A and B are shown apart, each in its own frame.
Chain A
Amino acid sequence: MDSKMVNLTINGKAVSVPANSTILDAARALNIKIPTLCHCDKIGGCGISNNPASCRICVVEVENRRNLAPSCATPVMEGMKVHTNSRRALNARRTILELLLSDHPQTCMTCAKNQNCELQELAAEFGIEEIKYLGERNRFKPDASSEAIRRDLSKCIMCRRCETVCNKIQTVGALTGYGRGFSAKVGTANLIPLAESNCTFCGQCVNVCPVGAITGISYVKKVWDAINDPAKTVVVQTAPAVRVAIGQEFGFEPGAPVTGKLAAGLRALGFDKVFDTNFSADLTIMEEGHEIVERIKANKKLPILTSCCPGWINFIEHNFPDLLHIPSSCKSPQQMFGAIAKSYYAEKIGVAPKDLVVVSIMPCQAKKYEAARPEFAKDGVRDVDYVVTTRELCKMFKEAGVNLANLEDDVFDNPLGESSGAADIFGVTGGVLEAACRSVYFMLNGKNLEGDAINFRAVRGLDGIKEASVEITPGKSIRVAVCSGLGNARKVLEMVREDPNRFQAIEIMACPGGCINGGGQPFLHGDSALLEKRMKGLYTEDERKVLRFSHENKDIQKLYAEFLGEVGGEKAHHLLHTEYHSK
């Protein structure tokens, strides 16, 4: 075991840290703040750090060392004497910051990252009041070619966090350092537009960008237009992971579910009906559970892979064309909701699908891409019209003066608002499979699991890859895997290529930890403990519900009885299933 400790002093205070620490780690152990910009611990909520030491904002003075040391990348040494706030270090940091700002547009007020920008925060902390250096500036045309992610490289500070998250964590490989010297930039292969690249739109790069160089494409204005258009009936659905993340922006305990407040807030914004993606998550379980049962009985097309996550679907379409027959053919809950809203619900209320606007509140950037896929539209009318992320919804609330903290709890509307606890846990890694297992057990045995057996603890937790055996019928188990983060998905899919019989069912989510860490969620700002809290919030929400099984959702049963017919039947297939294409 490498437990060797190293002693050093920082600003005259003695500290003892493990030998593989950096000066920055040691300073943090002493609660001494050193500013950082390119450095990012546990990037994307994973164990991987971004450490290019490229921005130099964290330089410190080390006695008997000629030059200043970047504290994020300098290992500690026995007897080292470090000064983090000497005149020389502070002057250097100021110069570095001013040079960074000299090649950065001063458009903070109109930037999507206003008040959420690490560069802006540093400028405030350093009391920068003028840009001293007037040098050459990089100017780039923003890339808004995709439906989901916008890149504006004129704001990029070359911290390369996006590149790390894209290549090392997600193994998507859409981004690279391109060129050299002053004109170096982070770009796609041969600088092709993002929409034409192998980007999956998972949005993890959006989450880690310290500035406004990578942001989501916003449809907020179009949503306001729809709400204010008397000819339109506007309904909204909200994903499970939103309710445990949005609270932190309104002073609630991070991770605490604020479902009732969220429903009230959405109503206050003027949506005609406030529905829940949880409803269609239960619907997904009916269809996907049925599919799992059929495939296991026939011992065909196994392992079955979950298909709720559009980032992950993009990933398999780009990287594993040979495996496209094994994901479940079920649409995601967002798209199932859209399809049911524009058929069943539109009929029920007597509104033409083109006059019914479906807005979804999602923790995700890839959902914007998914909603725009041509197969999810009928006669030019999209099933889901606009996607708004959790962060964008916060802005809508703030713009409209709606403070969730001041609202009374409200409930979702019928008939697309009722849900089971099994639907809540869709927002966290392991949840979809657990929800499916609860119903698969019922479908196979004609009775429910009882007591604590409904909690499939083996598939819970934030580990990137979980393998387990789950009992789906007394005495019969299947091997399952649950993974989150596309790098882990790649590993699991390679296992499947090598041994197709190793697993019978696999759940995959693109973002590390699942939707609670989605590309549209309130920023973690390096605090990965927030993910743990959001996860707990979802399991609390599940346990609080009387209804724990998707197949017991009365409104789902009614939907089948009144409209869809058989589970897995022809009409259900037509409306709720899809197919995948190699890219």
Chain B
Amino acid sequence: MCCQQMSEAAKAKFAELDRFIDTLNIDRKNERRRGWLIRSLHRAQAIFGYLPREVQQHVAKRLFLSEAQVSGVVSFYNYFTTKPKGKYCIDICLGTACYVKGSQNILAEIERMLGVKADTEPTADGLFSISALRCVGACGLAPVMIVNGKVYGKLTVAKAIEIINEYKKQG
């Protein structure tokens, strides 16, 4: 990775990740060092928001693993993403209860309104990204939508749009 081209902000992020990995005291000879991979990736995604190739390479290097091993784990878990997310992450539950209560329509409407599909790119302004989730365990509130961790329940299409518009106004 070329440090000269890296912005100060990115440098700070890598430094933060390094501080975390330092605490793990990884021993290159310990066959079980792989055990720290998922935890490190969680932290990396929390810091960077996503796991682009450079971040994966960095984690691989620090854990003495191959880039392929890291990439394999990232690709396996739905939680990990290699694409940047929007400022607001909209998670729509498509679990059975929510689905029966019409969450598919809510998802379709939000996709149409924002002009992006679920689990792809964020909107052009970088404000929103949409994910489709399986059951979030709040079936009593179905249908459910979560925006940056805040749960909205018993939604209708109209209510959901109202909420999104509210976030849009905040920018």
**Bound complex: CA A188 to CA B67 (Å):** 9
Which parts of A336-363 form the interface with B (CB within 8 Å)? none
| Interface size range of chain A in the complex | 10 to 19
Q: Which of B53, B56, B66, B67 gathers the greatest number of chain A CB atoms within 10 Å? A: B66
Contact of A177 among B65, B72, B82 (CB under 8 A): B72
Q: Which of A172, A174, A177, A179 gathers the greatest number of chain B CB atoms within 10 Å? A: A177
* Inter-chain contact A179/B76, CB cutoff 8 Å: yes
* Inter-chain contact B75/A175, CB cutoff 8 Å: no
**Bound complex: CA A176 to CA B75 (Å):** 10
A198: B residues at CB distance < 8 A: 66-68
**Bound complex: CA A179 to CA B68 (Å):** 12
Interface assignment of B41: CB less than 8 Å from any CB of chain A = no
Give the nearest-CB partner of B77 in chain A: A180
A133: B residues at CB distance < 8 A: none
Interface assignment of A173: CB less than 8 Å from any CB of chain B = yes
Give the nearest-CB partner of A197 in chain B: B68
Known A-B contacts A179-B76, A190-B53, A190-B82; the reply to A167 vs B71 at CB < 8 A is no
* Inter-chain contact B68/A180, CB cutoff 8 Å: no
A178: B residues at CB distance < 8 A: 71-72, 75
**Bound complex: CA A109 to CA B88 (Å):** 54
Interface assignment of B37: CB less than 8 Å from any CB of chain A = no
**Bound complex: CA A334 to CA B71 (Å):** 36
A481 to chain B, nearest CB (A): 19
**Bound complex: CA A197 to CA B71 (Å):** 12
* Inter-chain contact A188/B76, CB cutoff 8 Å: no
Interface assignment of B96: CB less than 8 Å from any CB of chain A = no
Could you tell me the dominant secondary structure of chain B's interface residues?
Answer: helix
A177: B residues at CB distance < 8 A: 72, 76
Mask: chain A, 165-209; 1 = CB below 8 Å from B; 0 = not: 001000011111111100000011110000001100000000000
Could you tell me the dominant secondary structure of chain A's interface residues?
Answer: loop
A188: B residues at CB distance < 8 A: 68, 71
B72: A residues at CB distance < 8 A: 176-178
A179: B residues at CB distance < 8 A: 75-76
Known A-B contacts A189-B56, A190-B56; the reply to A176 vs B65 at CB < 8 A is no
* Inter-chain contact B82/A189, CB cutoff 8 Å: no
**Bound complex: CA A439 to CA B71 (Å):** 47
A167: B residues at CB distance < 8 A: 66, 68-69
B69: A residues at CB distance < 8 A: 167, 173, 176
B65: A residues at CB distance < 8 A: 173
**Bound complex: CA A187 to CA B82 (Å):** 16
Which parts of B55-78 form the interface with A (CB within 8 Å)? 56, 65-72, 75-76
**Bound complex: CA A262 to CA B105 (Å):** 71
**Bound complex: CA A172 to CA B70 (Å):** 14
B26 to chain A, nearest CB (A): 16
**Bound complex: CA A188 to CA B75 (Å):** 11
B25 to chain A, nearest CB (A): 19
**Bound complex: CA A167 to CA B34 (Å):** 13
Which parts of B40-99 form the interface with A (CB within 8 Å)? 53, 56, 65-72, 75-76, 82
Give the nearest-CB partner of A174 in chain B: B68
* Inter-chain contact A173/B75, CB cutoff 8 Å: no
**Bound complex: CA A189 to CA B65 (Å):** 12
**Bound complex: CA A580 to CA B148 (Å):** 50
**Bound complex: CA A174 to CA B69 (Å):** 8
Give the nearest-CB partner of B66 in chain A: A173
**Bound complex: CA A167 to CA B71 (Å):** 14
A194 to chain B, nearest CB (A): 11
A382 to chain B, nearest CB (A): 31
Give the nearest-CB partner of B73 in chain A: A176
Which parts of B109-167 form the interface with A (CB within 8 Å)? none
**Bound complex: CA A457 to CA B72 (Å):** 43
* Inter-chain contact B76/A189, CB cutoff 8 Å: no
**Bound complex: CA A177 to CA B67 (Å):** 12
A174: B residues at CB distance < 8 A: 66, 68
**Bound complex: CA A197 to CA B53 (Å):** 13
Give the nearest-CB partner of A175 in chain B: B68
**Bound complex: CA A178 to CA B73 (Å):** 8
* Inter-chain contact B68/A173, CB cutoff 8 Å: yes
**Bound complex: CA A167 to CA B67 (Å):** 12
Q: Which of A178, A188, A189, A197 gathers the greatest number of chain B CB atoms within 10 Å? A: A189
Give the nearest-CB partner of B82 in chain A: A190
B71: A residues at CB distance < 8 A: 176, 178, 188-190
**Bound complex: CA A175 to CA B70 (Å):** 11
A503 to chain B, nearest CB (A): 20
Known A-B contacts A189-B56, A190-B53, A190-B56; the reply to A180 vs B75 at CB < 8 A is yes
B67: A residues at CB distance < 8 A: 173, 189-190, 198
**Bound complex: CA A188 to CA B68 (Å):** 6
A523 to chain B, nearest CB (A): 25
A216 to chain B, nearest CB (A): 21
A190: B residues at CB distance < 8 A: 53, 56, 67, 71, 82
**Bound complex: CA A178 to CA B74 (Å):** 9
A315 to chain B, nearest CB (A): 12
A173: B residues at CB distance < 8 A: 65-69
A488 to chain B, nearest CB (A): 15
**Bound complex: CA A15 to CA B167 (Å):** 72
**Bound complex: CA A197 to CA B70 (Å):** 14
**Bound complex: CA A197 to CA B76 (Å):** 20
A252 to chain B, nearest CB (A): 40
**Bound complex: CA A198 to CA B66 (Å):** 9
Give the nearest-CB partner of A172 in chain B: B66
A180: B residues at CB distance < 8 A: 75-76
Give the nearest-CB partner of B53 in chain A: A190
Give the nearest-CB partner of A188 in chain B: B68
A483 to chain B, nearest CB (A): 18
Give the nearest-CB partner of B70 in chain A: A189
B161 to chain A, nearest CB (A): 33
10 closest A-B pairs by beta carbon, nearest first, are: A173-B66, A176-B72, A176-B68, A189-B67, A189-B71, A189-B68, A178-B75, A179-B75, A190-B71, A177-B72
Give 22 pairs: A residue, B residue, CB < 8 Å, sorted on A: A167-B69, A173-B67, A174-B66, A176-B66, A176-B68, A176-B72, A177-B76, A178-B71, A179-B76, A180-B75, A180-B76, A187-B68, A188-B68, A189-B53, A189-B66, A189-B67, A189-B68, A189-B70, A189-B71, A190-B53, A190-B67, A198-B67
Residues of B whose CB lies within 8 Å of any CB of A are 53, 56, 65-72, 75-76, 82
Residues of A whose CB lies within 8 Å of any CB of B are 167, 172-180, 187-190, 197-198
In the complex, besides A187-B68, A189-B66, 20 extra interface pairs with C-beta distance below 8 angstroms are: A167-B66, A167-B68, A172-B66, A173-B65, A173-B68, A173-B69, A174-B68, A176-B71, A178-B72, A178-B75, A179-B75, A179-B76, A180-B75, A180-B76, A189-B67, A189-B70, A190-B53, A190-B67, A197-B68, A198-B66
